[in-house]
Amino acid sequence: MSAETDTTVPFTEADERRSLRREVAKLASGYGREYFVRQARNGEKTTDLWLDMGKHGYLGVALPEEYGGGGGGIGDLAAVCEELAAQGCPLLMMVVSPAICGTVISRFGTEEQKARWLPSIADGTLTMAFAITEPDAGSNSHDITTTARRDGDGWVLRGRKIYISGVDEAGAVLVVARTEDARTGRLKPALFVVPTDAEGLEYQPIDMEIVSPERQFTLFVDDVRLPADALVGDENAGIAQLFAGLNPERIMAAAFATGIGRFALDKATEYVKGREVFGAPIGAHQGVAHPLAQSKIEIELARLMTQKAAALYDAGDDTGAGEAANMAKYAAGEAACAAADRAVQVHGGNGITTEYGMAGLLVAARATRIAPVSREMILNFVGSHSLGLPKSY
């Protein structure tokens, strides 16, 4: 096809992806921000929205078709996550259950494990939590102390995890523990599926300021006995297998953040068009318009990097996806925080009222600069891996 007749737009999403976005936005708008906040403040869950998403195939869009999924890529799942957040329903377990856990099991699980777990993850009847963070390890996965030792044909896990999302609504937890290398005696990470009703597994809620129906927990793993098939993947794969499974987490976190940013910006834009002071809408003033325009630019840049990271991951480029996913997560967190802050500011006093619901976005957006990996650790990564600078740790 000649250049004159080629109408392809390189940076436009495929029609299928755009259609997916529209349909998810339509479904989510039927619930909306009021529903999400009401459930959170009443101590209730968003189970009906979650199951509705599963029934329509949106939770499993990136899982293999033979296990009840849609056969798409992480870019499709990220689009679902973003559109939910953009309608005021940022579901954190989207990042965890179908993205991290579903992807890890899809890539590294046995056929039996896939058949057991993936269909229920896809239709939403099972939610799986993910446990990696520890009180004394933080972002340093090399210092994880939760251990798994062989016990006959099975395993025994012992340790403690912190800031584990959604354990109270999960049927199982994908736990990162460390096994001992028989040859070297050194510990290396391995992944285990632990049912939440397993004897010796307990959890306690952590009180948080964020308004969300999805809660955080400290997880106690006290000599939990597991069968041999609880191990996902190769116990000798080590850190490479773990981080190959964490790229989707970064991509989804970026989509989650940009969705929050879009929601904040949409509410701010709507408000400044209708709010009149000194005889004109306040949106006509550059002091109001320019910050919102800046947020529009920052959000679109973050979305583009997120799409790049997803495309690289779906193409099998784990290394390239790792760099892009970290950059996307950084950009999206910064954009979301700025958008939420500007949305509160242009609302004036109304920005900190319960009626307008803007102030609650500040904490939600701020969390995206911290979790699942802090902006400082991303800067460390880019400095050492992308720029080749000496490590500071």
pLDDT band for 182, please (50, 70, 90 cuts). low
| Whole-number pLDDT of residue 1 | 39
Bridge partner list, 232: 191
185-214: per-residue pLDDT in tens?
Answer: 567 889 999 999 999 999 999 999 999 999
209-259: per-residue pLDDT in tens?
Answer: 999 999 999 999 999 999 999 999 988 776 777 777 789 999 999 999 999
80-135: per-residue pLDDT in tens?
Answer: 999 999 999 999 999 999 999 999 999 999 999 999 999 999 999 999 999 999 99
Polymer length in residues for the chain: 393
Q: Which amino acid is at 28?
A: A
Q: Give CA–CA dist 328/304, Å, rounded.
A: 8
How far does the chain reach from its first CA to its final CA, in angstroms? Answer: 53
Q: Give CA–CA dist 207/199, Å, rounded.
A: 25
Bridge partner list, 129: 173
CA proximity to 374, closest of 139, 210, 164 = 139
CA proximity to 88, closest of 40, 35, 157, 130 = 35
Bridge partner list, 219: 161, 203
Q: Give CA–CA dist 298/283, Å, rounded.
A: 19
Q: Give CA–CA dist 237/109, Å, rounded.
A: 13
Q: Domains along the chain?
A: 15-126 (1.10.540.10), 130-236 (2.40.110.10), 239-386 (1.20.140.10)
| Whole-number pLDDT of residue 184 | 62
Strands (E) in the chain, as ranges, are: 128-131, 147-151, 154-165, 172-180, 187-195, 201-206, 216-226, 231-232, 276-277, 280-281
Q: Which residues contact 50 (CB under 8 A, 6 or more apart)?
A: 59, 91, 93, 124, 127
Percent of the chain predicted with pLDDT > 90: 87
Bridge partner list, 293: none
In order of 150, 175, 253, the CA distances from 140 in angstroms are: 25, 16, 19
Q: Write out the DSSP string of 310-334.
A: HHHHHTT-HHHHHHHHHHHHHHHHH
Summarize the confidence of residues 51-77 as an average pLDDT: 98
| Whole-number pLDDT of residue 207 | 96
Summarize the confidence of residues 28-55 as an average pLDDT: 98
Q: Which residues contact 312 (CB under 8 A, 6 or more apart)?
A: 320, 321, 324
Q: Which amino acid is at 253?
A: A
The position carrying tokens 């028989």 is: 182
Report CA 392 to chain centroid distance, whole Å.
27
Summarize the confidence of residues 357-364 as an average pLDDT: 96
Query: In the numeric block, which tokens belong to residue 187?
Result: 């510990």
Bridge partner list, 224: 157
Strands (E) in 216-261, as ranges, are: 216-226, 231-232
CA proximity to 339, closest of 319, 358, 324 = 358
The position carrying tokens 């701020």 is: 366
pLDDT band for 2, please (50, 70, 90 cuts). very low
Q: Which amino acid is at 382?
A: V
294-326: per-residue pLDDT in tens?
Answer: 999 999 999 999 999 999 999 999 999 999 999
Q: Give CA–CA dist 36/59, Å, rounded.
A: 18
Query: In the numeric block, which tokens belong to residue 38?
Result: 């009401």
Query: In the numeric block, which tokens belong to residue 153?
Result: 């044909």
Q: Which residues contact 252 (CB under 8 A, 6 or more apart)?
A: 74, 77, 78, 81, 94, 95, 99, 100
Confidence (pTM): 0.95
Q: Give CA–CA dist 318/104, Å, rounded.
A: 13
Q: Is the dihedral of CA 25, 31, 34, 37 positive or negative?
A: negative
328-338: per-residue pLDDT in tens?
Answer: 999 999 999 99
| Whole-number pLDDT of residue 185 | 58
